Amino acid sequence: METKIYTAQELSAAAAQLRAGELVAFPTETVYGLGADATNTAAVKKVYQAKGRPSDNPLIVHVADVETVTQYAATLTPTVKKLMDQFWPGPLTIILKLKPQALAEVVTGGLSTAAFRNPRQPLTNALIKAAGVPLVGPSANTSGKPSPTTAAHVYHDLHGKIAGILDAGPTEVGVESTVLDMSAKTPTILRPGAVTRADLLPLLGEVLEQQPLVGKTEIPKAPGMKYTHYSPAAAVQIVDDDQQWTPATAWIATQSDPVGVLATEQQINMRKWPKNAHVISLGTDINTASQRLFAGLRQFDLQPEIKHILVTAFPRTGLGDAYMNRLEKAAGQKHFISL
Ligand code: TXA
Ligand code: MG
C-alpha cells in the first residue's frame, strides 16, 4: 500500500479514506495519532496490526464535541461536564463508564470504560467532523518506539502499512495527553501530561496519581502502562542536574563509540564537548524540551553507531512531571552515576 501525505487542503480526501475504513494518521497538539473510524470494527483491528500493538490495550476515542461523548458514555456528571468545559479542546483524555455495548471490544480492550479526548489542533477537529465519526487514535508509532511528533516520524514507522498521513508540521506539546480516570471513586491521573494535577485540583478537589509501575507486579489501571515505551535502540541514561554533566562529559570522552546527548542550550554552551559527543539541543526550557524529546531520541535511533544516549533531567513540576515520566521509561530508570 502506498502511504499518501495529505496537506491541510487535502483534508476531505483524507476523511474519505477514513470513512472507507482505511487508516490515516493525524496531527494533534500532543503527538500524531493513528486514526481509524471508531465505529468500524474491521478498521480498528487494522490499527493494532499496523502498530504491532497488543490488542488488550484500549484506544482513545477522539471527538470533535461533547455531544458525541453523550452517545457512548453512561452519564456525564456535572463535574465531568465542567472538566470538558474547562480543558477541552486540549491535552486531557477522560476515562468514563460506557453504556452497555456502546463501543466495540476492539476499542475498549473489553473494559466497561473508554477514554475520550477532544484535541486542540484545529485540523484534527476538522478531520473528525469531515469523517463524521469519532476516530480512535493511538500514537502513530510502531509499538514500543517513541511517539511521533512529525509526519516524517509516522512515515518512518508506518509507511506501506497505512493509507495516509495528514501533515500539519511538528506538534506543539510533544508528549501525549494527560489520562484522567473519572470512572474511579477518586479521580486518578493514569498518565501525566500537559494538563497537570495542579491544574485539575481546583475543580476536582482530590486527584490521585498512579504511582510508577517499575518493579511492581500489580496490574496497571491503564493497560498501556505495562508495555515497554519510548525505547530507542541505544541505552538511555538520565543526567540529573547541571553538575552531573561534568563527569558525564568526561565519561563520553572515554568511550570509543559516538554518544548521543540531549541537553538544554545552557548546558550545551557551558562546556566543551568531546569529539565523539553528538549533541542535540532541547532548547531553553521544559516546553521546548518536551517538544523535542521524542524527536531527539528518534534522531539518534537513525545512527546505529550510537550505543549510548545521555539526556538531561528536569524538575518534576508542571510539564516536568510528564517529561520525566517519558524519559524514565525510555531510560528504564537508569541514571548516570559518576564513580
Ligand atoms: O496525546 C495522546 O493521548 C495521543 C494523541 C494521538 O491523542 N494518543 C495516545 O494514545 O497517546 P495511546 O493509545 O498511545 O495511549 C492511550 C493510553 C494507553 O496507555 C491506554 O492503555 C490508556 O490510554 N487507556 C485507553 N483507554 C483506557 C481505559 N478505558 N482505561 C484505562 N486506560 C485506558
Ligand atoms: Mg502510545
Residue nearest ligand 1's atom 20 by CA:
224
CA distance 34 to 50: 9
Pocket probe for ligand 1: among 135, 139, 172, the residue whose CB has the most ligand atoms within 8 Å is 139
CA 63 – ligand 1 centroid, Å: 14
- CA proximity to 147, closest of 158, 161, 132, 163: 158
pLDDT digits (tens, 9 = 90+) for 93-130: 999 999 999 999 999 999 999 999 999 999 999 999 99
User: Are the CB atoms for 38 and 103 separated by under 8 Å?
Assistant: yes
Which pLDDT belongs to residue 216? 44
- Which burial class, exposed, middle or buried, applies to 250 when counting CB atoms under 10 A from its CB (0-12, 13-18, 19+)? exposed
Domains of the chain: 4-224 (3.90.870.10), 235-331 (3.40.50.11030)
Maximal C-alpha separation, the chain: 62
CA distance 41 to 61: 13
Helices marked H in the chain? 11-19, 41-51, 66-72, 78-87, 105-108, 122-131, 151-158, 197-204, 245-254, 265-269, 286-301, 320-331
pLDDT digits (tens, 9 = 90+) for 190-243: 999 999 999 999 999 999 998 755 444 455 666 666 556 778 889 999 999 999
- CA proximity to 191, closest of 301, 13, 31: 31
Give residues with Cβ within 8 angstroms of 165, minimum separation 6: 3, 4, 5, 6, 24, 25, 26, 32, 140, 151, 154, 155, 158
User: Are the CB atoms for 282 and 312 separated by under 8 Å?
Assistant: yes
Q: What is the value of ipTM here, to two decimals?
A: 0.99
- CA proximity to 173, closest of 280, 323, 317, 300: 323
Percent of the chain with pLDDT over 90: 90
Give residues with Cβ within 8 angstroms of 264, minimum separation 6: 281, 282, 283, 284, 285, 289, 312
Three cell numbers written together for 314 = 528536569
| Alpha carbon distances (Å) from 264 to 137, 267, 311, 337 | 31, 5, 9, 19
Residue nearest ligand 1's atom 12 by CA:
138
Percent of the chain with pLDDT over 70: 95
Is 140 a residue whose pLDDT tops 70? yes
Within 6 A (CB) of ligand 1 lie 28, 30-31, 33, 57-60, 93, 95, 111, 113-115, 117, 137-139, 176-177, 179, 190-191, 221-225
- Report the run of H or E that residue 235 belongs to, with start and end: strand 235-239
Query: Is 62 marked as binding a ligand?
Result: yes
Residue-averaged pLDDT of the chain: 94
Ligand lying nearest the CA atom of residue 224: 1
Query: Is 53 marked as binding a ligand?
Result: yes
